[in-house]
Structure 1
Amino acid sequence: MDESDNESELDFDDYYLETDDVGQSDLDPEYLAYSCLSAEQIEQLLNEQIEALTKSVKVTPSLAKVLLHAHNWDVEKVKTLFLSDKNKLLVDTQICVTPHLRLGAFSRLTMPSTCTVCFVTSSPDFLRSLGCGHLFCKDCWIMHFEVQIKQGITTGIQCMSGDCKILATEDFVLSLLNRPRLREKYLQFSFSDYVKSHPELRFCPGPNCSIIIRSMKETKAKRVICTSCKTMFCFRCGSEYHAPADCETIRQWLSKCEDDSETANYISAHTKDCPKCHICIEKNGGCNHMQCYTCKHDFCWMCLGDWKSHGSEYYECSRYKENPNIANESAHVQAREALKKYLHYYERWDNHAKSLRLEEATVQKIKDRINSKVMTNDGTWIDWQCLLDASALLARCRYTLQYTYPFAYFLDAGPRKELFEYQQAQLEREIENLSWQIEHVETANISSLENQVDIAEKCRVTLLKDFLEV
């Protein structure tokens, strides 16, 4: 009983977690070696890089932070630039200006001077300047820092003088800030800036999650899953994982979906008419292979075509047939064709997203069924584990298939698109076969189900290997 209780707690959202173990093969096109670290661990990592630079070129930690932040935390690159031309590096990094532009120091250090912000005359020891030489009183600097920090600006704080863009280093800021709360905010915002500028690091986008992901080998658009909040996302852009679509493609797609949401509202309906007896049917599962409960006609939910035609060598339902002469048509006809094309891809994108949600209920039914069988001594959880494995694989395949539609929408016509559509069609056909077997598990052959799992996963991996940009 303990075994079944533990197994029944498996979450449908974990369909990707099983393949994310440390021992996962690098042959997986989605695989990325990464670790989930705390802020303290990341701070230690950054400090090690800062220390490495300070020891090699003899600069202060504060200056090292500015240099590394400006050059993607590449210690060797900064070291090379520093040794090659120190002055040029400091000027390019906005630490100082060229010597002929720098304002001279007071000729008479004991003489009072006027702050050009508040116009209050002060003694020289009450004035401070950055590498540009522009002098301002401490009070004005502190007020300037407070305003900037409240706006979330820390590593980008610049000189107060007109067009001067010289940056304020950390030690300069902290030497003047005396309010503990403001100092803490400054350090928090600075740390956030350092993480965002580091190519190997990315904050987990999960709600209220403090984990930072570190990529161990590469900084590509690969899948990562936070071990703390279980959020799955793309390492490169931080948005929801979107293979095989690249980051720019999915950004354009989501923007278009948002703009055209009203034109696609009709798709949200969960009912369609049976193409044979015309009775209204509601989709209550993830599978697109529908069977009318009245006339028993088998048809495709997406195109309403006879399901037998979907068993052919080429699964045409996923492919959009463009008008080859559309360029010669009027602007009105072209606009209608563009909308028709968009709705074709949007409907299939949206359908797979809904199918993923509907199949959660199917998985729960499978768990209940397995519990019932185990309770009546009809096998053990291990004997029935293949059903849960098949459900997890189905969700993984459907998730990938969902993101093939934005990819296909923006893909230029040609041999590459034809190959992609062929592989997309194969994956879609095998997914629907797998989904049908899972939903009819009572009558399904277990060995046939396991074979279908292997076929579907091979189709998914093949498509990703050929079209996932790495």
Structure 2
Amino acid sequence: MASDGEEYYSGGEDYYTDDDVDSNIDDDGGENWQPESDDDEEIGADKKAVGAVDRYRILTEDEVRARQDADTAKVGELFAIPVGVAAVLLHHYKWSLDELQDKLFSSSSAAAATGVSLDVDPAVSVNAHPLVCGICFEEHAAGEMRSTGCNSHFYCLTCWRGYAHFAILDGARCLSLRCPDTSCSAAVVRELLDDVITDADDKSRYDNFLLRSYIEEGTKFKWYPGRGCSLAVEFIGGGGGDKHNDYNQDDVECTHGHAFCFRCGEEAHRPATCETVVAWAEKNAENSETARWVLANAKHCPKCRLPIEKNQGCMHMTCRPPCLHEFCWLCLGSWVEHKDPNFDSCNVYEQAKANGEATDDKLRTCTSTSGGQRTGRQGREH
């Protein structure tokens, strides 16, 4: 028999004691079995988060600008061209070094299509003798005029300055600025702009357009969309799979706590896919159209606040059960206190409208501000 404090559990020919059960040791002398804990899940989540961080790098504006300058200098050294010409080439090919090299090495005319030449150095020409400016038609002494890569059309510094100023005011298209001569497609390079622009605001705006182009037109960088956030994120890759899968559904967060999806640019939405988010947005847009229709074609019952559509009958309205509130459709006042015996007009509304104190739009807007209920009902007209 079992001794005190010890029980046996019958299971066929085998029997086990409480000590055996509590030991959690298998018959083969294996390791102790331990139930799964939340710690394992937390470790897995931490590893996943670290993997996501490794795929991205957070950059400040200064770091982005340094990266842009490095890419431009690299292209300049590779093809032995001025950095201004290199910047034009990179901008044309969406700041992709790989695509730029493929195009330039495979086609001798690829550079010309961008408005620059790989054989022109320096990028800016200065007149060696007096010339007449093609814009102001005044003669200028040697050294007082400039020409961009075409080396054919010379303009004075004042005209170049005005030309650049209005181009920069026009927006980011100044990055694709061409020679003022309408028959010439030579690109205006950075060296020329630095030479002629004296206004600090113009220089700052141009620099900002160039920096934004590097982020917004490329594929490896994106701005964080948070209000007032000037940080950018660089996609590094990793994690296997093709490029599409690398970008697919990756939520990233900056040091300011702004999170978004790198692939679609919307707010962070893991585990929902980008396609699901798009479908949801389209569904919400449809609901918005419905809400606008209600505002335009319905009013709220002054008592229960549910929307009512009036499609026929007089101005004496009675809300559906259980409300049963009676009111005037025009002035929304209680019908009990209504003074006009004519069911097709309203003295209160007409008088207010005549005095400019109320309009149908104002009444509708005012009565449409109740919260949240989207189930409509028709009132009963008398």
2:93 maps to what in 1?
A: 71
Cα distance 1:185–1:250, how it changes in 2: closer, same or farther (>3 A)? farther
What runs of 5+ residues in structure 1 fail to find an aligned partner? Answer: 1-17, 100-104, 273-277, 281-349, 352-470
**Which residues in structure 2 correspond to 1:416-455 (within 5 Å)?**
none
Paired position in structure 2 for 1:212? 232
Distance 1:135 1:254 in 2: 57
Q: Match of 1:150, as an amino acid?
A: L
Change (3 A) 1:98 1:208: same
- Paired AA for residue 123 in structure 1: A
Deviation at 1:279, TM superposition (A): 8.1
Alpha-carbon RMSD across the aligned residues, in angstroms, is: 4.2
> Which of 78, 84, 92 is the aligned partner of 2:113?
92
Equivalent in the alignment of 2:253: 226
Q: In the alignment, is the contact (CA less than 8 A) between 2:79 and 2:118 conserved in 1?
A: no
User: How far 1:41 moved relative to its partner?
Assistant: 1.7
- Shift of residue 84 of structure 1? 3.4
The residue number in structure 2 matching 1:431 is none
Amino acid at match of 1:54: G
One of 196, 219, 230 as aligned partner of 2:216: 196
Q: Partner of 1:24 in structure 2? A: 49
**Match of 1:88, SS?**
coil
Any idea what the Cα deviations from partners look like across 1:132-172, whole Å, max 9, x if unmatched? 33322211111111112223334222222236443211112
Q: Within the alignment, does 1:49 sit opposite 2:71 as a pair? A: yes
Unaligned runs of 5+ in 2: 1-42, 238-242, 308-320, 324-371, 374-382
Distance 1:19 1:170 in 2: 50
Indicate yes or no: 2:165 matched with 1:143.
no
> Structure 1: how far apart are the matches of 2:197 and 2:130?
26
Q: 2:265 aligns with which of 238, 254, 264?
A: 238
CA–CA distance in 1 between the matches of 2:283 and 2:146? Answer: 50
Which residue identity is paired with 2:49? Q
Q: Is the Cα–Cα contact under 8 Å of residues 53 and 64 in structure 1 kept in the other structure?
A: yes
Q: Which residue of structure 2 aligns with residue 386 of structure 1?
A: none
Per-residue CA deviation, residues 167-223 of structure 1 (Å, 9 max, x unaligned), is 211112111112333222221221111211221101111111011011111573534
Contact 2:56-2:236 at 8 Å conserved across structures: yes
* Alpha carbons of structure 1 residues 19 and 244: separation in structure 2 relative to 1, 3 Å: farther
Q: Is the CA contact (8 Å cut-off) linking 1:158 and 1:168 kept in structure 2?
A: yes
Structure in which a larger fraction of residues adopt helix? 1
* Deviation of the 1:250 alpha carbon: 6.7
CA separation in 2, counterparts of 1:168 and 1:50? 16
- Aligned residue type for 1:95: V
Deviation at 1:271, TM superposition (A): 8.4
CA deviation map 1:341-362 (0-9, x unaligned): xxxxxxxxx99xxxxxxxxxxx
Distance 1:97 1:124, change over 3 A: farther
Q: Which residue of 2 aligns with 1:37?
A: 59
Figure out how many residues of one structure are paired with residues of the other and give that number.
248
Equivalent-residue separation in structure 2 for 1:97 and 1:57 (angstroms): 7
* Structure 2 equivalent of residue 172 of structure 1: 192
Which residue identity does 1:152 align to in structure 2?
A: G
Determine the structure 1 residue equivalent to 2:84.
62
Q: Distance in 2 between matches of 1:155 and 1:249?
A: 36
Distance 1:32 1:176, change over 3 A: same
* Alpha-carbon distance in structure 1 between the residues aligned to 2:287 and 2:117: 47
Change (3 A) 1:143 1:249: farther
Higher strand share: 2
Match of 1:134 in 2: 153
**Residues 165 and 230 from structure 1, CA distance in 2 versus in 1: closer, same or farther, beyond 3 angstroms?**
farther
Letter in 1 for 2:163: H
| Counterpart contact for 1:97–1:166, Cα < 8 Å | no
Within-5 A mapping of 1:108-123: 109-113=128-132, 115-123=133-141
Judge conservation of contact 2:93–2:100 (CA < 8 Å) in 1. yes
* Alpha-carbon distance in structure 2 between the residues aligned to 1:55 and 1:22: 41
Identity of aligned residues (%): 17
Change (3 A) 1:51 1:131: closer
Query: 2: CA distance between counterparts of 1:250 and 1:191?
Result: 33
Residues 220 and 235 of structure 2 are in contact (CA less than 8 Å); yes or no, is this contact kept in structure 1? Answer: yes
1:97, distance to aligned residue in structure 2 (A): 11
Contact 2:249/2:273 (8 A) holds in 1: no
Aligned to 1:455: none
Distance 1:200 1:260 in 2: 39
Q: Give the greater-gyration-radius structure (CA).
A: 2
- Supply the distance in 2 between the matched residues of 1:195 and 1:279 (Cα, whole angstroms): 59
| Distance apart, 1:131 and its partner CA | 2.3
Residue type of the partner of 2:100?
A: V
Output the CA distance in 1 between the equivalents of 2:268 and 2:185. Answer: 38
